[in-house]
């Protein structure tokens, strides 16, 4: 049963990643939009930057770029299922709905993570921040923060599949829900970017907080995906 679930999940995720690997549409658009977001912030804040606030600003920009471009990934990965009503075929296939959710989650998560690596490098250059002081913790925060965002986003993006005002609504509905996780991620990131931080205790606290919210979001996502998407 568990083996089957995992196999189906990987099949769905593999399908999405293979389509993306051929066109690279989402990856390139996301990476370009993320770079633009970081640049806009860099122009806007260039004169106001107080060196002491540098790590906080850099962490904020990193997560703002992640949040804004993550919405693009969510929109596009689910949008592909709308073309030729592919979602109907996917829902009719003998795959548990929760495995479809998990597969989509993995695909969005990996795409976002790939773009975040580029964003981190760009932030380190444009905001002169020592971003790789704690690479292990940074990877962990990026993964947990992105997982929380994607776990919630996939449910809402799938539910909005047939809505005409989907692009306008996705961000408006998703951001209030994911802000607690992203606040935690941004606090943890700011602390590890700060060379003057006395210790990494706050990072550990926020990591635990992120882990707990991720567990809740994923559990809710697995549970709610079927009734939300297959109600008709």
Partner 1 sequence: MPAPKSTRFLAACAAAFALLLLACLAIGAAPPEATMGVVQKIFYFHVPSAWLLMLSALVSAGGSLAYLFRGSERGDRVALAAAELGVLFGLCVLVSGPLWAKAAWGAYWQWEARLTSSLLLWLMMVAYLLARRYGGPAARRLAAALALFAAVDIPLVYFSVRFFRSIHPQTTVVSTLGPGMRGAFWLSLAAFTGLWFVLLSVRLAAEKAQAEIVELEILLEQAEEEKS
Q: Contact positions toward partner 1, by CB under 8 A? A: 152, 155-156, 159-166, 168-169, 172-173, 176-177, 179-180, 183, 213, 216-217, 220, 224, 227-229, 231-232
Nearer to partner 1, 4 or 201 (CB): 201
Sign of CA dihedral 90, 95, 96, 100: negative
Q: How far is the CB of 109 from partner 1 (least distance, A)?
A: 18
Q: How far is the CB of 146 from partner 1 (least distance, A)?
A: 17
* Nearest residue to 70 (alpha-carbon basis) of 142, 136, 133, 18: 142
CA 12, CA 40: separation in Å to the nearest integer?
Answer: 36
* Residues near 218 by beta carbon (within 8 Å), at least 6 away in sequence: 105, 147, 151
Nearer to partner 1, 34 or 229 (CB): 229
Nearer to partner 1, 3 or 176 (CB): 176
Q: How far is the CB of 203 from partner 1 (least distance, A)?
A: 15
Nearer to partner 1, 99 or 158 (CB): 158
Nearer to partner 1, 19 or 173 (CB): 173
* Residues near 109 by beta carbon (within 8 Å), at least 6 away in sequence: 146, 147, 150
Q: How far is the CB of 196 from partner 1 (least distance, A)?
A: 19
Q: Which two tokens stand for residue 98?
A: 């929760």
* Nearest residue to 64 (alpha-carbon basis) of 136, 155, 171, 144: 171
Q: How many CB atoms lie within 10 A of CB 127?
A: 23
Q: How far is the CB of 180 from partner 1 (least distance, A)?
A: 6
């Amino acid at each position: 049963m568990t083996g089957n679930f995992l196999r189906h999940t990987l099949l769905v995720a593999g399908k999405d990643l293979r389509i993306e690997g051929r066109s690279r549409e989402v990856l390139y658009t996301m990476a370009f939009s993320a770079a633009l977001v970081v640049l806009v912030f860099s122009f806007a804040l260039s004169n106001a930057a107080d060196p002491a606030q540098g790590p906080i600003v850099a962490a904020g920009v990193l997560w703002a770029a992640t949040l804004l471009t993550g919405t693009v990934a969510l929109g596009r990965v689910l949008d592909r299922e709308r073309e030729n009503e592919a979602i109907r075929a996917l829902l009719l296939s003998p795959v548990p709905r929760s495995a479809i959710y998990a597969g989509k989650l993995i695909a969005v998560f990996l795409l976002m993570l790939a773009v975040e690596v580029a964003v981190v490098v760009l932030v380190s250059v444009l905001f002169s921040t020592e971003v790789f002081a704690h690479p292990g913790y940074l990877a962990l925060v990026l993964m947990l923060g992105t997982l929380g965002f994607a776990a919630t986003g996939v449910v809402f993006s799938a539910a909005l599949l047939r809505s005409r005002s989907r692009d306008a609504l996705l961000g408006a509905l998703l951001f209030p829900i994911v802000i607690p996780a992203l606040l935690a991620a941004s606090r943890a990131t700011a602390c590890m970017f700060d060379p003057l931080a006395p210790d990494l205790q706050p990072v550990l606290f926020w990591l635990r907080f992120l882990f707990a919210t991720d567990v809740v979001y994923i559990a809710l996502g697995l549970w709610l995906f079927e009734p939300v998407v297959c109600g008709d």
